[in-house]
Amino acid sequence: MSTVLDSRSFLRWCWRQLTSMRTALILLLLLGIAAIPGSLFPQRTQNPLQVKQYFIDNPSLAPWLDRLSLFEVYSSPWFSAIYLLLFISLIGCVLPRSIEHIKAIGAQPPLTPKYLDRLDNFTEIKKINLDGAEKYLKKKGFRVRREEHSISAEKGYARESGNLLFHLSLVLILIGVGIGSLLGSKGDAILNVGDRFINTPTSYDLLSFGKYQKEDSLTPFSITVKDFQAQYDSVTNSPIDYTLTVSTANPAGSKEQLKIIKVNQPLTYGNTKIYLQANGYSPIVIVKNKQGKVVFEGPTPFLPQDSNLSSIGAIKVPDMQPQIGFVSSFLPTADRDPIRGGFSSYPEVLDPRLLFSIWKGDLGLDSGVPQSVYRINTTNMERIGLKALSLNETYDFGEGSITFTGWNSWVNLQIVSDPGKNYALIGAILAILGLLISLFTRQRRIWVKQGKKTQVAGLSKNEIPGLKEEIEDLIKEVSSER
């Protein structure tokens, strides 16, 4: 029996500690400190390649850091522990206060203290008529508690309302974030101009689902890439504007509509948005075998390497015997200098060049190990040639021939579904509203007490000035009334 009581009182003690202001303050500071390492170490969710590089550069240190979740700080157990504790503490403090606050809506201000002379703004004046003071204070919007010989008045309840609204909104934001990560999805699809995309899991190059999202819940739209225009600044070579024109229908098969997608202007279907995330060039080649039969034809997306869009890529021809691969780079505007060799001097295609080394052997496509589309694993291959082609040139490499016939643009569409973000947004707006109300409302009490003389005093909760003037006005008003 007593152990039950003990453990219960222990739990109660823990709860009180957790919801105390001091704990909240410490947790708040801890949360700030805990967020720091994530900005110092590369994070898997943002930059997996940099994490790999970190492992290569610091082979002995990296596994230890990894054990401490320092490459996944924001989903680590310790980071989650801090914010969960913080929010439990928040709820534990704010919910009871909210209930009390609601109960207090109709309540009267507290009784006038016995001794006013110890309080701020204490003044003694000649005896006045309390009715006048009561009327004046009521007119000014104070809640007034009138006793026979005293008045207790209070104004600024909205401060507490705002404060509670702010803290409850923080909880709403967190709920929104949680819904998004559990029920959302996010994927990438690389499409050449002319390609058609239907929103099913298999169409994606990369797709991740929230824990509780069902795979068949994707919005069933289709997108056909009609046109892509990039505009560059001729002095700095930096991009000015990208315009993607698509023809789209939701659900796929219904009437199609032309839509424009830009970097800050995604296409929206309910909670799903389609973003223009990246773009590049896809050189088009025709590869023929010794007999002159076409074994490969079409565009291959290349990965841009710098701001002038020199790009690297891999053209894989598995249908030849033996298999052939071209480890290539594409220069939209080819230029040369003695140190760097060939490079691109402008991001638009003005004088394109396709550079490649030719490899013969096993491309390893059937090995089951997923391969990068931009690279070729050449361990089981042998190099048989090296060449640079201008537009419409052909090169005969013995096993066959390759012709560089043109180029196309590709775009990376990022397709994100986040059913929680509206909650987060509403939470954010309410949070600001609550903050403004709570920080700019003056909560203050004024007491008037009748004795031999009349005593007036006041108390202001936050340090916004103005109470002194208010009391002076009151005194002026009621003294002149007589």
Partner 1 sequence: MSDRSAALLSNNFIYSAMVIYALAFLAHAIEVAWSVKTPEITVRKTKLDFSKTERIGRLGSAFMLIATILLFAGVIFRGISANRVPWGNMYEFSITGALSFSIAYLFALAKYKMRWLALPASISILITLGTAVTLLYRPSAPLVPALKSTWLVIHVSAAIISGGVFLLANFIAGTYLILDRYEQKGSRPIWLQKLPTLESLDNLSYRLIALVFPLWTFSVIAGAIWAEAAWGRYWGWDPKETWAFITWVAYAAYLHARVTVGWRGRKAAWLCLLAGSTFLFNYIYINIWGTGKHTYSGL
Cα–Cα distance for residue pair 354/328, rounded to 1 Å? 7
User: Among residues 21, 103, 113, which one has the least CA distance to residue 459?
Assistant: 113
**Residues between 46 and 75 that touch partner 1 (CB under 8 A):** 46-47, 50, 73-74
User: In a 3-state reduction of DSSP, which class is residue 56?
Assistant: helix
Torsion on CA atoms 51, 52, 56, 61, rounded to nearest 10: 40
Cα–Cα distance for residue pair 56/28, rounded to 1 Å? 35
Q: With binding defined as CB under 6 A, does residue 93 bind ligand HEM?
A: yes
User: At 364, which amino acid appears?
Assistant: G
Cβ neighbours, 10 Å, residue 111: 11
> Which residue in this structure is represented by tokens 């491309």?
363
User: Among residues 374, 354, 230, 376, which one has the least CA distance to residue 302?
Assistant: 374
**Residues between 443 and 462 that touch partner 1 (CB under 8 A):** 462
Q: 257 or 422, CB closer to partner 1?
A: 422
Q: With binding defined as CB under 8 A, does residue 422 bind partner 1?
A: no
Q: 89 or 417, CB closer to ligand HEM?
A: 89
Q: With binding defined as CB under 6 A, does residue 86 bind ligand HEM?
A: yes
Indicate which of ligand HEM, partner 1, none lies near residue 436 (CB less than 5 to 8 Å, by partner kind). partner 1
- Only segment of 146-154, 258-266, 330-338, 350-358 that touches partner 1 (CB under 8 A): 258-266
User: Among residues 223, 213, 201, which one has the least CA distance to residue 271?
Assistant: 213
The residue from 146, 273, 360, 442 that contacts partner 1 (CB under 8 A) is 273
Cβ neighbours, 10 Å, residue 269: 16
Q: With binding defined as CB under 8 A, does residue 258 bind partner 1?
A: no
**Residues between 3 and 32 that touch partner 1 (CB under 8 A):** 21-22, 24-25, 28-29, 31-32
**Residues between 385 and 414 that touch partner 1 (CB under 8 A):** 414
> Which residue stretches of 41-157 are H helix?
48-57, 62-67, 77-103, 130-139
Q: With binding defined as CB under 8 A, does residue 101 bind partner 1?
A: no
User: Among residues 141, 26, 41, which one has the least CA distance to residue 86?
Assistant: 26
Residues at the contact surface with partner 1, assessed by CB under 8 A: 21-22, 24-25, 28-29, 31-32, 35-36, 38-39, 42-43, 45-47, 50, 73-74, 177, 186, 233, 235-236, 238-242, 262-266, 273, 275, 277, 307, 414, 416, 418, 421, 424-425, 428-429, 431-432, 435-436, 439, 462-464
Residues in contact with ligand HEM by CB under 6 A are 24, 27-28, 86, 89-90, 93, 163, 167, 170, 438-439
